[in-house]
Amino acid sequence: MQASTETSLSGKQNGVGMTLLRQPIIPFALVLACLPLALVVTLVMPIGPMYWDHYIYLDAANRIFDGQVPSVDFFAPVGGLGYYLFALWIKIFPNGPPLLLASWSLLTLTAPLMALVIADVQKRSVPLAYALLLPFLLFSILPFNTGDFYPYPGSDGFGVYNRQICQLLYVLAAGLVFVRGWKTLAAVTALCMLGLLFIKVTGIAAGVVLCLMAFAAGRLPLRAAITSGLVFVAVIGLAELSSGIVSAYANDILSLVLLNDTSLIPRLLQAASINFGVVLACAFLCLALFLIETEFFEKAKAFAARPGFAAFGRFADQSLLWLAAFILAGLLFESQNTGSQAFIFLWPLLLAIMLETWERKGPSPAFAAVTLLALSAALPPAVIILQKSARAWIGSANNTPLQSHNLKSLGAVSVRDLLNVRAERMRRSYIDDRSTYEAVAASGELPSFLLYSDFEFQSLWLQSADEAVSALRTFETDHEMRFETIMTIDFTNPFPWLMDRHAPKYIAIGADPYRAVPPVNDEMNAAVAAVDVALYPTCPPTTARLQLLDLYEPALAATHRRIKLSPCYDAFVRNELLPKP
């Protein structure tokens, strides 16, 4: 009796388990529910190349909490949606690692949309739903790029918004290829396109290519296209009427275009060379599909003989053309990037191509060739991200947590001991031989060609910032005053967030003077002149910092006095806050 009861219980448990597995939405929800466990505590992240890139999210969130609107009140290198999502998540998880918050906050948008896709697909095929869901979770949860920018393993703190665009394109591609319900497809298309627009405008160029391909092939029905288009326009109109953010964003985009006026062809070739393996595999797959799809010319002739939308749709709805459009979309987006999860959105299409080839050819050499080439394009991005994640976290076993007092969750990073030693040695050299490094920067060179990727530069930046906050607090105590507005003459400015203060309006975030700082105007000059303190890092002087100093110092000259705040920071303090002579 006991044995039969145990068997019965086991059978019920297995039955429940199988029921759960037959509903991919349920495991999806369970995985998402586990993510906050990594955010309620301050998880120590292994530092990585260009790690400071994601500090701009802290600056943006702090400005948003102050009531500032991206593009309206400050110049931003990308759209404001990612910053708003990050601000929401850091409000809920104040101790969460900023890098994970910046990366995972996009799930606020992508998770519900992917759930719609999965709910539609699982009605027809549970394995197919899992085949779409599992890669999505991999790319969304592991915040790593598919490209390498440094030989040592570490966290990828840069290119967050580029990865987010790729994840949105993945959801859009999955919807366009596999969703059958037109209402679901309209919702996924509209919201993905809005997300692409308001995270990074180059993403919508890729999204338009995907949507045009789906519409031409008849996979995006006219009523779904019209509905999604109306929703898209309505949301843009409401956003503009309520805040003016759309026109301000358009002005920022125009400024970026003028600052980065380079020919598209070289950038496309560069994108193709960086992602050569994927592009080559897809090129061979296109050739294989051309040879397999013998009706290609027949459909072309039929369309030429009787032109019409239906005939064009039959011609356009061929795997070869779908793949060519997807590759074009990927190259357009990657031509404007540094750091990304390049071409991950190919997987839904490649999966559909393999399934279609199986249905038409069965277990044949043609199917084997298509599968081999499709997997050659799809697997490398996933394998690279898994490998980089494993290397970063396994390698962090040899790391030591950074010691800090004022950095909040920003300081929860770890660095190898030998790099900490190097950082301290370089710090001493930057301090003792400052004139030498200033001369190097003035000549147009950096101390190291890969300076911003060097781990010791990133750890030294954090240590210097920690020291600068202590020096600011000491200055305030000694002079019985308080700095309310803080800016930096540097790439990133998390100091207002670190000290619970304010950032001035109109100062660009992610201040790369070569790519993302607009020309100074009267509004910006007035904001700089009114700031309480402007921090200028000197360990080391760099070409970008010198250019930013040239940009902002004229506005500071009459209203501020330059003092040595700490060994690695000078400060421009507003005259009214200094003791009277």
**Tens digits of residue pLDDT in 394-453:** 999 989 999 999 999 999 999 999 999 999 999 999 999 999 999 999 999 999 999 999
Beta-carbon neighbour count of residue 84 at 10 Å? 18
DSSP 565: E
Question: What is the Cα–Cα distance from 277 to 369, expressed in whole angstroms?
Answer: 17
Which residue has 């790099």 as its token pair? 419
pLDDT in tens, 37-68: 989 887 899 999 999 999 999 999 999 999 99
- Which among 261-275, 286-300, 327-341, 472-486 has the top mean pLDDT? 472-486
SS (H, E, C) 269-299: HHHHHHCHHHHHHHHHHHHHHHHHCCCHHHH
pLDDT in tens, 175-203: 999 999 999 999 999 999 999 999 999 99
Token pair for residue 498?
């670190």
> According to the model, what pLDDT value does residue 4 have?
38
Partners of residue 569 on adjacent β-strands: 537, 566
- What percent of the chain is predicted at pLDDT more than 70? 93
Mean pLDDT calculated for residue range 347-360: 95
145, 53 contact by CB (below 8 A): no
400, 407 contact by CB (below 8 A): no
Q: Is the pLDDT of residue 580 over 80?
A: no
> According to the model, what pLDDT value does residue 163 have?
97
Lowest model confidence (mean pLDDT) among 438-447, 452-461, 509-518: 509-518
Positive or negative, the CA dihedral 179, 180, 181, 182 is: positive
Dihedral pair phi/psi, residue 34, rounded to 5°: -80, -20
- Chain mean pLDDT for the chain: 92
Mean pLDDT calculated for residue range 84-103: 97
ω before 540 within 30° of 0 (cis)?
Answer: yes
Phi and psi based region of residue 362 (left: phi greater than 0; alpha: psi -120 to 50; beta: remaining):
left
> According to the model, what pLDDT value does residue 19 have?
63
> According to the model, what pLDDT value does residue 550 have?
96
pLDDT in tens, 279-328: 999 999 999 998 887 677 677 666 666 776 676 777 788 999 999 999 99
- What percent of the chain is predicted at pLDDT more than 90? 80
Token pair for residue 567?
């060994």
Rg for the chain (alpha carbons), in Å? 26
* pTM for the structure as a whole: 0.94
For the chain, the residue count is 581
127, 369 contact by CB (below 8 A): no
Q: Is the pLDDT of residue 207 over 70?
A: yes
